[in-house]
Structure 1
Amino acid sequence: MTHLLEIRNLSLRFPCGGMPLEDVTLTARPGEMMAIVGASGAGKSLLARAVLHLLPANARMGGNIRLNGIPLSPATAAGMRGRVLALVPQSVTFLDPLATVGQQIRWAARRAGLPRGFPVDQALARVGLPPEVARLYPGAISAGMARRVLRRLRALADAGRTVVVITHDLVTALPYADRVAVMRDGRILAEERAAAFSGDGSALLSDWSRRLWNALPQNAFDTAGRSTHA
């Protein structure tokens, strides 16, 4: 079954003040991969936790989140996590550093309601990883291994699933994404076609998107803050 994720006018406050998320609106469609990118502190991780309702008890959330038209409340999200909704952390630092990859795959399988004895080797093979990876700890996972997981997510999107990738690494996400939502200071500043991140960025809709693109070292950003594209 495919799923349409809709986020409308989402805001998130904490009693200590400030607004970590403000008026976030976006739609992730079946059959596509959407990348949400931004610098550290942009609000990307908070957005993921808001969708899954994995927030502290003192969080105050406004707006609405729907999956196939069904409002996601703490109760409905809890019933869907690990089954219909799944979070793939943007970094291995989100994983338990004292548990092996195999142990953590088995934990995820049980959370998804799969039977004991879940074939970890087969799960690794689906993303092109050898069975010995199951014995590694998260700190030993290479960047190349992580990219294989991205390819697997792209394959899920091609099969009709809805995939949202939240990352600070624009370059790694671009080959797999269809659209890119750019976050800054708890807001979605722009939604761009992934293909628009090319050349001097002139096809991008937002000035901040162009600045983000041209700031990358491979795009010849100089020390005065100007792109040196010819």
Structure 2
Amino acid sequence: MLEVNHLSISFLQYEKGLKQQQLKVIKDLSVSVHSGEILAVVGSSGSGKSLLAHAILGILPTNATTEGTIYFDGVKLTPEKKEEFRGKEISFVPQSVNFLDPLMRVGTQVRNAARGASTSAQRKAFERLRLAKDVEQKFPFQLSGGMARRVLASTAMVSGAKLIIADEPTPGMDPTVIKEALKYFRELADSGCTVLMITHDIGAALEIADKIAVFYAGTTVESAMVNDFSGDGRLLRHPYSKALWRALPQNDFLPIPGSQPLPYANLPGCLFEPRCAFATTECRQDEPKPREIRNGIVRCIHAT
């Protein structure tokens, strides 16, 4: 249903004076997800998760340059196709509540975002996410942060879209509402919809996802089945995926030393090499190419 091939995104920026530079923030990123699947995209802040969503939707800023191809349901997403599908075939649950129009009542916003969804469908979605009936008549400034996020999540429920992109859909919600929202995403996938869920919450991803893609410094370092994220992480293939898994409080709670490289670092080899305990001289020379290993995809020359 969705296939992203070798996506790169650069931003034109000015240095001192009028000198320009292209800052590449996503490099050779590839992911794919089939109809009826949920793909969870995880990784630290700044790894390119939200930019992937914006590239699919065609809402990147004007100073952005993209390379690579994106296909949706077999159709290449040109700028014209992105505009055509956005809000109809492709529904977006944004991360920031600032996407809500401060001058429009939220019930109307949800129906408009879903390109004319019925009032009954909107009210049913609000009820499921534990939003009182009178909330539809409120303006965004009258809502708490958690309520605003539930309003945003409800747009996916009423859209009827083939692809739902949910960018951090659960922060600020109480556990009961989180469980209900995740359950609904799973139900949508089981009915044939495709869900791309961007999240920091690996625990939430494990509850409903079929596959997990791990992003690091603007590229995909591993794509794995959800069952590989278990035990001590030995089924995982990339050192960063294993370190991310072991850093969780319910596991070893071990911090990962160092920090993610900035886009202008221009490292010639593996982007994780400066932080990797298993790095060799070869890791510093060339960027590893994605390889298929044990029914997963990994960028690491030492993965087995």
Which bin holds the TM-score, normalised by the shorter protein?
0.7 to 0.9
Q: Distance in 1 between matches of 2:214 and 2:82?
A: 25
1:29 aligned partner, one-letter code: H
1:47 aligned partner, one-letter code: L
Kept in 2, the 8 Å contact 1:33–1:177? The answer is: yes
Q: TM-score scaled by structure 1?
A: 0.85
Q: Distance in 2 between matches of 1:55 and 1:62?
A: 13
Give the C-alpha shift of residue 92 in structure 1: 5.5
Give the C-alpha shift of residue 122 in structure 1: 1.2
1:190 aligned partner, one-letter code: E
Give the C-alpha shift of residue 161 in structure 1: 1.0
Q: Distance in 2 between matches of 1:203 and 1:81?
A: 37
Q: Distance in 2 between matches of 1:53 and 1:81?
A: 8
2:124 aligned partner, one-letter code: Q
Alignment counterpart, residue 169 of structure 1, candidates 198, 201, 212: 201
Does 2:216 correspond to 1:214?
no
Does the residue aligned with 1:211 lie in a helix, a strand or coil? helix
Alignment counterpart, residue 225 of structure 2, candidates 181, 189, 193: 193
> Residues 217 and 62 (structure 1 numbering): CA distance in 2 closer, same or farther, change over 3 Å?
same
Kept in 1, the 8 Å contact 2:246–2:252? The answer is: yes
Does the residue aligned with 1:40 lie in a helix, a strand or coil? coil
Does the residue aligned with 1:63 lie in a helix, a strand or coil? strand
Aligned to 2:143: 137
Q: Which deviates the most, 112-121 or 48-57?
A: 112-121
- What does the per-residue CA deviation read over 1:86-115, in whole Å, with 9 as the maximum and x for residues that have no partner? 1112x4545439579xx3343232233326
Within 5 A, what are the aligned runs for 1:95-114? 95-96=99-100, 98=102, 103-114=105-116
> Residues 188 and 223 (structure 1 numbering): CA distance in 2 closer, same or farther, change over 3 Å?
closer
Kept in 1, the 8 Å contact 2:29–2:219? The answer is: yes
Root mean square deviation, CA, Å: 2.4
Kept in 2, the 8 Å contact 1:181–1:191? The answer is: yes
Does the residue aligned with 2:50 lie in a helix, a strand or coil? helix
Give the C-alpha shift of residue 130 in structure 1: 4.7
Aligned to 2:122: 120
Aligned to 2:75: 70
Give the C-alpha shift of residue 204 in structure 1: 1.1
- What does the per-residue CA deviation read over 1:173-226, in whole Å, with 9 as the maximum and x for residues that have no partner? 11100100000100000001111111111111222111000001111324696x
2:174 aligned partner, one-letter code: A
Kept in 1, the 8 Å contact 2:244–2:256? The answer is: no
Does the residue aligned with 1:218 lie in a helix, a strand or coil? coil
Structure 1: unaligned runs, 5 residues or longer:
226-230
Kept in 2, the 8 Å contact 1:110–1:116? The answer is: no
Alignment counterpart, residue 45 of structure 1, candidates 38, 47, 50: 50
1:219 aligned partner, one-letter code: N
How many residues align structurally?
A: 218
Kept in 2, the 8 Å contact 1:34–1:178? The answer is: yes
Q: Which deviates the most, 180-189 or 11-20?
A: 11-20
Structure 2: unaligned runs, 5 residues or longer:
14-21, 148-172, 258-304
Does 2:6 correspond to 1:9?
yes
Q: Distance in 2 between matches of 1:224 and 1:107?
A: 42
Q: Distance in 2 between matches of 1:116 and 1:194?
A: 35
Aligned to 2:287: none
Kept in 2, the 8 Å contact 1:97–1:138? The answer is: no
